[in-house]
Amino acid sequence: MILAAQLVVLGVLVVALMLLRRHWPYPSPLIRPFLPPQRRWPEAQIRGWLRTKRFHPGYLAFFDRDPERIVPSGPALLAPADGLVTSVDCRDGIRYIVIALSFWDMHVQRSPATGRVVSVERLGATYTDGEGRDFAFLRDKYCPVQARTLFECNAGRVAVRQITSVAARRIETWVVPGQPVERGQRMGRIRLGSTVVLEADASLACRVAVGERVRAGETALLEVSEVAC
C-alpha cells in the first residue's frame, strides 16, 4: 500500500517532468495557465507557429478574445485598437496615430467616433497610403496588406487603417459603406496582424504620446473641439 502510494507520487512527478522536458524551452502545459500571457506563449514560440501555421488552440482562443469595453462619454476620438502608440506624426494636414499591436494584444478594432461609414478600401500590398505618401513605419513589414475604413463623424472625415503582413494576411472588416456606427462599436479584426493607424484632421489636439499604451474604445486619442499641430 505504501509502495503503491510512493509509486503514484513519483509517477506523477515523472509525467510532469516529461511534459516540462517535451515543451522546453516553452512552458509546460501544467504551469502555462498560471503565467501571464507574454510568458504563457513566448514570442519565439508564436513566431515558430507563424512559420508552421500550426497554432496552439489555447493561444488562438486567447488571441480571438473580444472583451466588452466601457466607452467613455464626450466628443473625443477613441483609440481604434489596443496597443502601443508608435507615432503621432502630422503630414499634409493629416495626423497619423500609429498603434502597434503585439501578439498578446486584443485584436478587435472599434470605431473611433459616432458617424457613418463612407468607404471600405482594400489597398493590397503597398508601402504607401494609396495617395503616394510613403509610410516609413511599414518598411520593416513584409508586404503589408491594408484595409482602410473611412468614417464621416463629428470630427469630419476620419479613417482607420488596419494593416497586416502577407504572413498573417487576414483582415476582417465588419462594417459596410453607408452603415451608421456608434462610438466604440466593433468594426473589424486583424488575424495575427500588427498595426492600426487612425487618420484624422491635423487640427485636432492629440491626447496621447509615443510610447503610451491605448485600449480600443476606451482611450481618447484626439480632442475634437481643440486646435493643435
Residues that bind another protein (CB under 8 A): 2-3, 6, 9-10, 13-14, 16-17, 20, 27-28, 30-31, 34-35, 39
- The neighbour count for residue 172, using CB atoms within 10 Å, is 15
The minimum distance between CB 146 and another protein, in angstroms, equals 36
Euclidean distance between CA atoms 159 and 47, whole angstroms: 30
List, in order, residues 6 or more apart from 213 with CB less than 8 Å away.
82, 83, 84, 85
List, in order, residues 6 or more apart from 87 with CB less than 8 Å away.
96, 97, 98, 137, 210
The minimum distance between CB 109 and another protein, in angstroms, equals 31
- Residue 111 appears among annotated catalytic residues: no
Euclidean distance between CA atoms 138 and 92, whole angstroms: 18
H-run or E-run covering 17: helix 2-23
Candidates 119, 194, 203, 225; catalytic one: 194
84 contacts 212 by C-beta, under 8 angstroms: yes
The minimum distance between CB 24 and another protein, in angstroms, equals 9
Q: Which is nearer to another protein, 38 or 119 (CB)?
A: 38
The minimum distance between CB 62 and another protein, in angstroms, equals 17
List, in order, residues 6 or more apart from 89 with CB less than 8 Å away.
95, 96
Residues shown for the chain:
229
Q: Which is nearer to another protein, 35 or 166 (CB)?
A: 35
Grid cell, residue 71, equals 466607452
132 contacts 92 by C-beta, under 8 angstroms: no
The minimum distance between CB 35 and another protein, in angstroms, equals 6
Known catalytic residues are: 194
